[in-house]
Amino acid sequence: MFSDFDFGVILRSLPYLFKEGMTFTLTLTAVATVGGVILGTLIAMIRLSSLPVLPKIAAGYVNVMRALPLVLVIFLFYFLMPYIGQWALRADQPIQVGALSSTIITFTLFEAAYFSEIMRAGIQSIPRGQVAAGYAIGLTYRQVMSYVVLPQAFRNMLPVIFTQTIVLFQDTSLVYVLSITDFLGAASKIAQRDGRLAEMYLFAAAVYFLISFTASMLVKRLQRRLAVAR
């Protein structure tokens, strides 16, 4: 059944698959992770704060995002983003947002909801005594957060954050629905052009697997090291 496999098609398309496709995938993964963690941490801090109203809004945001399928959000934001830009900038027509920027913003906003849950657990894992001690020696809220709570929370949650990043890496394949040339998009374009679906999709699966599997092994290692250090 593999007799008429043409592995040459994979070889010939490697530069395109990786230089265009994988670059897009990795850029999106990296930027959305950093953005998502930052925004997620902010959301988590708001949720745990004693501010009026804001914690409710933050919680609502997280719950709504977590209830929606990413595919729906990808479509919706791709169409919606320019209007939000127009409204925010008071421009007289929708603001142009390119495919990469749009997907980066979408994934950042979407993943922030998940990262915020991770950071919330991380912040809550820090004994309250430490916070109290911080205040007792005269630190402000900002100082307690940035010198005492967040570094530890972040460190404790690092394996979980990386695990979520692996999920995010896999989720980026969904930009396929917008015809964007991410790694899967590149593979499918070659597959359809040359009628070589089996080769290209199996190859794409193998690449995703190798990257995700290796990364998750590294995360497990990190987890063990952190566990020992604690």
Query: Which parts of this chain interact with other proteins (CB under 8 A)?
Result: 1, 16, 20, 64, 67-72, 75-76, 78-99, 101-102, 105, 166, 170-171, 173-174, 176-181, 184, 186, 188-189, 192-193, 195, 197-198, 201-202, 204-205, 208-209, 212-213, 216
DSSP assignment letter at 180: -
Residue 137 CB, nearest approach to other proteins (Å):
32
* Of 11 and 68, CB closest to other proteins: 68
Instruction: Please state, in angstroms and rounded to a whole number, the distance separating the CA atoms of residues 32 and 163.
Output: 14
Instruction: Please state, in angstroms and rounded to a whole number, the distance separating the CA atoms of residues 107 and 36.
Output: 8
Residues in the chain: 230
Residue 185 CB, nearest approach to other proteins (Å):
8
* Of 14 and 177, CB closest to other proteins: 177
Tokens representing 30 are 């990296």
Instruction: Please state, in angstroms and rounded to a whole number, the distance separating the CA atoms of residues 68 and 35.
Output: 20
Residue 186 CB, nearest approach to other proteins (Å):
8
Residue 135 CB, nearest approach to other proteins (Å):
28
Residue 71 phi, psi dihedral angles, 5° rounding: -60, -45
* Of 81 and 153, CB closest to other proteins: 81
CA 226 → CA 17, 81, 148, 219, 230, distances in Å? 36, 40, 18, 10, 6
Residue 199 CB, nearest approach to other proteins (Å):
9
Tokens representing 37 are 């963690």
* Of 135 and 208, CB closest to other proteins: 208
Residue 152 CB, nearest approach to other proteins (Å):
20
CA 5 → CA 8, 9, 23, 195, 197, distances in Å? 9, 9, 27, 11, 10
* Of 111 and 134, CB closest to other proteins: 111
* Of 114 and 149, CB closest to other proteins: 114
